[in-house]
């Protein structure tokens, strides 16, 4: 075997041997999880209509609209829907619309569960004075004191 053929065989073997390991590096997760909480906090001084949509495995499982007052001093008002999407594990997506604006979506890309409380995701949005919505997620196991409104699931 000549040197180029030998080097080519090492390179090909290296690619094949890492094929199953790259999923965790790209953030692709196949695990399902429970959605344990959704909230959008209005940090602005203005009242807003907040619409929340929850999808599980591509199917709509919740939609609600909330009229949320503006912040009163240090008191922040929030839209926290009932947990009517249930405790079924799946791949969730949460979308939020402020007034008649565009939808902002959290797809939980790369959500990492390690069982137990970490298989419960919490979605939270913060509306700031510039009318910017920041939407993201946390794992329930990352909280010492879970937020009020956390869904209760029989495990």
Question: Per residue in 86-102, pLDDT tens?
Answer: 999 999 999 999 999 99
CB atoms within 10 A of CB 106: 19
- In the chain, where are the structural domains located? 29-142
What's the mean pLDDT in 56-70? 97
Fold classification of 29-142 (topology level):
Immunoglobulin-like (2.60.40)
Q: How confident is the model at residue 18 (pLDDT cuts 50, 70, 90)?
A: very low
The C-alpha atoms of residue 31 and residue 54 are separated, in whole angstroms, by: 18
Three-state secondary structure string covering 66-120: EEECCCECCECEEECCCCCCCCCCECEEEEEEECCCCEEEECCCCCCCCCHHHHE
């Amino acid at each position: 075997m000549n040197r180029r053929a030998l080097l080519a065989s090492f390179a090909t073997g290296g690619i094949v041997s890492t094929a199953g390991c790259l999923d965790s590096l790209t953030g692709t997760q196949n695990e399902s999880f429970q959605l344990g909480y959704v909230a959008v906090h209005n940090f602005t001084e203005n009242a807003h209509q907040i619409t929340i949509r929850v999808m599980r495995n591509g199917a709509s499982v919740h939609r609600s609209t909330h009229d949320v007052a503006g912040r009163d001093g240090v008191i922040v008002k929030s839209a926290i829907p009932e947990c009517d999407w249930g405790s079924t594990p799946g791949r969730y997506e949460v979308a939020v619309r402020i007034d008649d604006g565009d939808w902002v979506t959290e797809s939980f890309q790369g959500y990492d569960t390690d069982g137990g409380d970490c298989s419960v995701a919490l979605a939270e949005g913060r509306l700031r004075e510039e009318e910017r919505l920041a939407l993201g997620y946390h794992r329930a196991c990352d909280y010492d004191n879970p937020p009020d409104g956390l869904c209760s699931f029989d495990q």
